[in-house]
Amino acid sequence: MVSPSIVQLSLRIVTLIITVLATSAAQAEFRATLRGTTNYTWRGFTKSADKPAVQASIDYEHSSGVYLGSLASTVNFKDRGFDDRSNVEVVPYLGWSFPVKDDWRADLQVQRYIYDGKVFNNESDYNEIYGFLHFQDTFSARVSFSPDYYDREHAAADLAFIGRYTLTETLNVSSGIGYSLTRDVLEYDYLYWNIGMSWYHRYVALDLRYVQSAFFNEMEDVDKDPWRFEPERISATVVFTVTFGF
């Protein structure tokens, strides 16, 4: 039986949260998106087995720079031989964006990757910590670290750089390059990059992107555990994405 004091405390906390959100609504911004993509590519591999995926997100940002939200996507790790395999990935996140100097700003963020089932017959939920550095809307650098990547009892890190150039008010080109240190988990490290073009009009965005990756420091003569995490690698592919948002 739940203690009345716990119930009262919970109600007070909920009331406080509602009050804070209500009083700060004028200083906050909500965003939501619905996206369809021909391939859910992520750091050099596909999370949708080179097939289409449906994604959604919701985000709340306060004028103080604190923000929170969640992403969700259909996934397919090509592990159909196992029971209780994951079909959905949910990524709640909490962060803080703040100015550094002049046109520079930084972000600190923590994310939790949650799956509705297993990945290669293993529980695979994990945490990742991010740091971002942005110059205006033209350049971003990102570093991330996971102490227990895909719950495989090994750490992983990633470093990436993204550049953007505005052609018109509704059209820009962008490119990114990154390097993932994942040898302890995936048995290799890898370099990945992309280049593409995005078009925006009110609540719709279209993106066409070329994605490629290369793999290094691959372990040799290792026992091929059929349960180990082995996502489908990307050699070269073109991805088209349409996004509806407000």
pLDDT at residue 224, rounded to an integer:
58
Indicate which CATH number applies to the domain containing 122: 2.40.160.40
Q: Please report whether residue 37 resides in a domain.
A: yes
pLDDT at residue 14, rounded to an integer:
45
Q: Please report whether residue 15 resides in a domain.
A: no
CB 210 within 8 A of CB 195: yes
pLDDT at residue 20, rounded to an integer:
47
CB 179 within 8 A of CB 205: no
- Tell me the C-alpha distance between 51 and 129, whole Å: 28
Least confident among 1-5, 48-52, 140-144:
1-5
Q: Please report whether residue 205 resides in a domain.
A: yes
Task: Using a pLDDT cut of 70, give the percent of the chain over it.
Answer: 85
Q: Please report whether residue 20 resides in a domain.
A: no
Q: Please report whether residue 47 resides in a domain.
A: yes
Residue 2: pLDDT band (50, 70, 90) is very low
- 184 vs 143, higher pLDDT: 143
Residue 15 has pLDDT above 70, yes or no: no
Q: Please report whether residue 9 resides in a domain.
A: no
- 231 phi, psi to nearest 5 deg: -65, 160
Least confident among 98-112, 170-184, 212-226:
212-226
pLDDT at residue 3, rounded to an integer:
47
DSSP codes, 105-148? EEEEEEEEEEESSBBTTB---EEEEEEEEEETTTEEEEEEEETT
Q: Please report whether residue 119 resides in a domain.
A: yes
pLDDT at residue 107, rounded to an integer:
97
Residue 217: pLDDT band (50, 70, 90) is confident
Q: Please report whether residue 17 resides in a domain.
A: no
pLDDT in tens, 170-186: 999 999 999 999 999 98
Count the domains in the chain. 1
Domain containing 108 equals 27-245
pLDDT in tens, 20-35: 445 555 556 899 999 9
